[in-house]
Amino acid sequence: MGLLKTIRITHQRHIQEELRRQILRGTYMPGSRLPPVKELATHFGICVATVQKALDTLEKQSYIVRRHGSGTYVRERPQDLTMADTVCLCMITGGHVHSDLYRQLNLHLQDKGRIVFTLDLDDKEAYVRRLRQAYVSGVPAFIVYGSPYNPVRMLEEIVEAGRTVIGILDWRLEALSGRIPRVLVDHEAGGRAAARHLFSRGHRRVLLLGTENMIEEMQPKTPIWLRTQGYGFAREWEKLGGTWTSMTSRIGSREQRYHPILEPAQIHAAISSDSRATAVFGLRDAEAWTFQNFIADQLPELRGKIEIFGYGDTDWSLAGHPPFSTVNWNIGSVVSSVCRLLDSQSAGTALQPATELVKPKLVLRPARLP
SS3 (DSSP) at 206? strand
Domain membership of residue 353 (yes or no) is no
Specify the long-range contacts of residues 46-49, CB closer than 8 Å, at least 24 apart.
Answer: 46/11, 46/15
Q: What tens-digit pLDDT sequence spans the chain (370 residues)?
A: 444 444 455 677 778 878 877 876 678 888 889 999 999 988 888 888 888 988 888 887 777 888 888 899 988 765 444 667 789 999 988 877 888 898 889 888 877 778 888 898 888 888 999 999 999 989 999 999 998 889 999 999 999 999 999 999 988 888 888 899 999 999 999 999 999 999 999 999 999 999 999 999 999 999 988 999 999 999 999 999 999 999 999 876 555 556 778 888 778 777 776 668 899 999 999 999 999 988 888 888 877 788 999 999 988 888 888 899 999 999 999 999 999 999 998 888 889 999 999 999 999 998 654 3
Q: What CATH number did the domain enclosing 302 receive? A: 3.40.50.2300
In this prediction, residue 289 carries a pLDDT of 92
Are both 217 and 90 inside the same structural domain? Answer: no
Domain membership of residue 354 (yes or no) is no
CB of 156 within 8 A of CB of 173?
A: no
Domain membership of residue 144 (yes or no) is yes
Its pTM stands at 0.78
Identify any residues that bridge with 73 across adjacent strands, giving them in sequence order: 33, 65
Expressed as residue numbers, the domain containing 90 is: 83-180
Query: How far is the C-alpha of 325 from the C-alpha of 365, rounded, in Å?
Result: 5
- Phi first, then psi: give them for residue 195, nearest 5 degrees: -65, -45
Are both 34 and 161 inside the same structural domain? Answer: no
In this prediction, residue 5 carries a pLDDT of 46
Query: How far is the C-alpha of 227 from the C-alpha of 90, rounded, in Å?
Result: 22
Domain membership of residue 282 (yes or no) is yes
Are both 232 and 313 inside the same structural domain? Answer: yes
Are both 211 and 254 inside the same structural domain? Answer: yes
In this prediction, residue 195 carries a pLDDT of 98
Domain stops at, among 150, 180, 210 = 180
* 148 CB-near residues (< 8 Å, 6+ apart): 172, 173
Query: How far is the C-alpha of 225 from the C-alpha of 171, rounded, in Å?
Result: 7
Q: How many domains does the chain contain in total?
A: 3
In this prediction, residue 355 carries a pLDDT of 93
Largest CA distance in the chain: 69
Short-list 19, 23, 56, 51, CA closest to 37: 51
Q: What CATH number did the domain enclosing 20 receive? A: 1.10.10.10
Are both 237 and 121 inside the same structural domain? Answer: no
